[in-house]
A and B are shown apart, each in its own frame.
Chain A
Amino acid sequence: MRKKLIVTRRNAIVSGLAAMGGLLLPGCKGKELPPTYGNILRMGDNLTYFAHRALLPGQALVKEYDPRDISSFPATGTFNPGDSSWKYYSEDWDKLHKNGFADWRLSVEGLVTKPLQLSLKDLMAFPAQKQITRHSCEEGWTAIAEWTGVQLSQVLKAAGIKANARFVNYYAFDGFADSLDMLDAFHPQTILAYGMNGKNLPVPHGAPIRMRVETQIGYKSVKYLKRIVVTDEFDDFGENGSIPNGWAWYNGI
């Protein structure tokens, strides 16, 4: 009798743990979520993503700061793609840089009715947005800067984004690539930044254009952009992407 009770209780514990595991199931299935490849950490990432989307108000604005809060700002990762000794050296970027980015074009393609090739001048013709925000690096450091740019939503609308679009992929000259869901892509503070602290975006911080995703951790704000592709299918970007390198795709936390 007693023995049977013990087993029952153990079963209860096991089924309790299994029930908690059930919470992770949204990570395994569902079209709206990125793949997990059976990795329990990626399931946890998806649980966080799912919970944020379910529980947090859609497009709340991040805190904006005062000009006197602007701080020193480390440039990490690639800070000069024109350095030929750097592992992410980009010959294309180097040529464009030497010409003052006059020939630089941002390609906007994929699920859009009107693919665009935007020069810096074209981007600056959109209404400019300035925001003084905090950059939070996954490493634990923070810095505040003033960014000037154009809302990503404006560019996507100009290209005529199609109704079945689900992700906005973006590619950089130094090889990095990442993507946003439509909620963050259309967030009013998600901008393509061409200015920093009142000047043109400096080379160490992603010249000529970088993404600013203020609702997520720093590494979503990819520097040295060259291409934007709207898709209806999640792309993990292979060796250039976060997930295949063991990093979370969603970083609102």
Chain B
Amino acid sequence: MATNPQHRTWVKICHWIVTLAFIGLLFTGIEILMVHPRLYWGEVGNDLTPALFELPISRNYKHGGFTEGQPFFQTPGSPVSAGRTYDIFNQNGWGRSLHFLAGWFLVVSGLIYLLLGIFGGHFRKNIFLSKKEFKWSSIMNDLKDHLRLLIPRASGGPDYGILQKISYTIVIFIALPLMVITGFTMAPAITAAFPFLLDLFGGYQSARTIHFFSTIALLLFFIIHIVMVILSGFKKQILAMTFKRPYEKETDRNPS
């Protein structure tokens, strides 16, 4: 009797805690970025230094509210000091604290998920590509199917498709850990203890910029993930990720 593998309870719990943490982090992350919507590379970046780019997402965008710069040194091109006269948008009091609180939920449930996934065989069985799937032609075929919107109906759990496995692998092992580690690189007490973090990313502002682009990648995943859930059968997928019993056999559902 073939059983239809379904999401395990711990996978469901971690999934929803991480989802809520992600939404909290995204919301507060946007708020924090609105306070200083400029991104840089290296260790240093502020209103008096050139930005990589600036986002028009609050009244702080390209505000010119500074007193005339006073050079620190006599040399030409000396760095300057200037006083800010502009009343900026800043809601970072609750924004930062909620960001870090949500971060705790992400880190704790993420670590539990990683440990259970490694030792329970979840990653090996369900998330990583099998040898058979790990072929250029298989990947291209799955990509073509997706582009033609040939989406298989939900099975209500693993077996995942090839692109699905690849995207989960990237999110679990690259994007989310990168978010946490670049976040740590912006924490002065943490980089005091682990200064290699600053060298790893090329400085505080580089880590902040990578934190931003990693957010964009996760946001894209988040949107495509929801679209795929809808296209493959919204109700069945949501039930499978919530209250449906794992490893339920057909015979249990229709007792005769």
Q: Which A residues are within 8 Å of any B CB, using their own CB? A: 5-6, 9, 12-13, 16-17, 20, 23, 40-45, 47-48, 52, 56-57, 60-63, 65, 69-76, 79-80, 134, 136-145, 196-199, 202, 204-205, 214-217, 245-248, 251-253
Contact = CB atoms under 8 A, between A and B. Distances in A.
Given A56-B193, A73-B46, A139 B97 contact: no
Contacts of A70: 72, 79
B94 A246 contact: yes
A-B pairs, top 10 by smallest CB distance, nearest first, are A252-B189, A44-B101, A79-B83, A72-B48, A140-B36, A141-B46, A246-B93, A41-B97, A253-B187, A72-B79
A25 to B, nearest CB: 13
Given A75-B83, A197-B73, A69 B43 contact: yes
B188 A217 contact: yes
A75 B82 contact: yes
Contact of A140 (B94, B105, B208): B208
Contacts of A65: 43
Interface string B112-142: 0000000000000000000000000000000
B79 A20 contact: no
A85 B69 CA distance: 21
B256 interface: no
Contacts of B67: 79
Contacts of A216: 188-189
A253 B100 contact: yes
A63 B49 contact: no
A60 to B, nearest CB: 4
A71 B49 contact: yes
A106 to B, nearest CB: 23
Interface in B1-49: 9, 13, 17, 32-33, 35-36, 38, 43-49
